[in-house]
Amino acid sequence: MSSVILVGMPGVGKTTVGRELATLLHLPFYDLDERFTHAHGITPADYLRRYGEPEFRKKESALITEVVTLGTAVIATGGGAIVDPLSRWQLWHAGTVVWLDAPDHVLRNRFQRDPDARPLTQDAEQIAARRAERLPFYRAADIHVDATDQAEHLARTIADRLAAIVKRDAHELSQRGRLLLKTTTTRNHPMGPSLATICFASRFPHRIIHTLLSDLSTGVPVVVADERAAAAQPALLDSLPPARQLLFAAGEEHKRLATVETMLEFAASKRAERSDAWVGLGGGTAGDMVGCGAALYLRGVPFIQMPTTWLAMCDAAIGGKVGVDLSAAKNAAGAFWPPVAVLGDVTALNTLPGDLLLDGMGETLKSAIIGDPWLWDLIVHRGTKALIAGPSGDEAARYAMVERAALVKLGVVDRDPFEAGERRNLNLGHTIAHALEVESGYRLPHGRAVILGLRAVAHMARNRGARADFAAEIDQLCAQLGYDLTRSFDANVVKDALAGDKKSLRGKIRWILPFDVGHVEQADDITEAEIDAALTHISADHT
């Protein structure tokens, strides 16, 4: 048996139930809060009040790293330990995760007995907020148990559920997938369901894929897969029904309406109906094309994204914008067609070459600057190791970066689904990036183009109130991560492509300027001189 990890809201009884369960299973018991107090000479509650939650989570993560190496045990976590994706990665890979759950009013009654011990959950409003924040992570547990019963009975119930899991998965325990996050987001579209399911996993459990497909597709789904992704991820392709599978070449050079037409003809030849979902397996360009086909077929069918690249998982698969390129403009023909589900298997990233990892990191760095200082700090300290290809790289950090970047985009899209304001911030670095891609004949990879575009707009922001050393800090980090900071290009062709930017309004481009980590501003008064200076800054011919 592997370790048993108990998670759940503060006050749900993880320590009490954990002791009973450890006795029943003849395993040692480790309570993370008790070990924290012993290690630091101060309770978690007092540490939180004195130093704040971010500093507490760092110490807690280090403690988790230590505890999971002690051998098979029952481990009771602090209520918020699972919020940190690095901690969750370690806990979820250490054993079977049990979510102890109880209604808010039960928790409130328990807190009243010791109000000072719960600094983050002092009243009903705080409890509800913490539950909403943590539900996407609790839902990824292997076992969900109602914790309102007596501890002795709960321990026996959990022991029985554990035995059932061992029996069910005995033939594949070493390969058993780990669901790491399960959340929902508003689709913001009048057709189809109001909510979409977002899941990340380490080796996606096939039973979860099958359940989602049965819920979201009335008939056999149309599976449209990038042939390269299908070859690299045979287990993912095998998890999907084989009757309606189409393989296609998904590179940027194929991202045209002609490719989408091939998909439409295939679906029609298979007599696919409006309630039969389309599943797109592959990277960002594959998702764009398959999503475009799903939006057009029978005027809209359910669309499920199965991204297999870093860039697609953290950005392209989320938000609902799908489309194809025209000769003079990237993504210029398409639609808003939000997926009904996004299923990202992060073990797929182990098969990616280094250049595709760099592409994903480019979008991740963009998300950090827009709205996540924690993510920026993680990239600074562990980004280089996360970019090492294969399982020898820092898989935990790679996953954490994907998740946090995806959550940034999910939050922005939920607040501004149709790009009326805040969602424009997601275009940080992209205006010049897209123009550079057009100039290159779409040979310049998107993530690398974003880095060049980011450097260009950071140069613009220097004289408009940005933190004085921020542009230099971005340059230093990009160089540390291995990006080319300059490129040879025809500036006139780039400026012509800028004139066709699809986000222009009355001929004016809306620029997103980075002022500091977590602080970007929009501007539509950038001058020709500023554009010229920014392009010169990233040009290899002027260094």
Average pLDDT of 103-119? 73
SS3 201: strand
116 has pLDDT over 60? no
Dist CA 45 CA 24 (whole Å): 30
Closest residue by Cα to residue 383 from 295, 478, 307, 447: 478
pTM here?
0.93
pLDDT tens-digit map of 145-172: 999 999 999 999 999 999 988 766 655 4
What span, in angstroms and rounded, lies between the C-alpha atoms of 310 and 355? 11
For the record, the structure tokens of 219 come out as 């008939």
Confidence band, pLDDT 50/70/90 cuts, at residue 174: very low
Distance between CA 301 and CA 263 in Å, rounded?
Answer: 13
pLDDT level of residue 50 (50, 70, 90 thresholds): very high
Average pLDDT, the chain: 92
Q: Which two tokens stand for residue 112?
A: 């009243």
Per-residue pLDDT, 251: 84
Tell me the pLDDT tens digit for each residue of 121-135: 667 888 899 999 999
What are the residue ranges of helices labelled H in 298-394?
A: 310-311, 354-371, 373-386
Query: Across-strand partners of 146?
Result: 101
**Residue pLDDT, tens place only, 502-540:** 566 566 899 999 999 999 999 999 999 999 999 999 999
The rounded distance, in Å, linking the Cα atoms of 328 and 441 is 10
In Å, the largest CA–CA distance within the chain is: 75
**What is the pLDDT confidence band of residue 173, given thresholds at 50, 70 and 90?**
very low
pLDDT tens digit string along 299-339? 999 999 999 999 999 999 998 999 999 887 888 899 999 99
CB burial class (10 A; 0-12, 13-18, 19+) of residue 41? exposed
pLDDT of residue 502: 57
Sheet architecture: strand order including 303-307: 178-186, 195-202, 341-345, 303-307, 278-282, 222-226, 245-248
Strand partners, 3: 95
Q: What average pLDDT does range 104-113 have in this prediction?
A: 79
- For the stretch 62-101, pLDDT in tens is 999 999 999 999 999 998 899 999 999 999 999 999 999 9
| Segment 435-465, tens digit of pLDDT | 999 999 989 999 999 999 999 999 999 999 9
- The pLDDT, as a whole number, for residue 169 is 62
pLDDT surpassing 80 at residue 413: yes
Q: What does the alpha-carbon distance between residue 113 and residue 354 come to, in Å, rounded to a whole number?
A: 54
Q: How far apart are CA 329 and CA 438, in angstroms?
A: 7
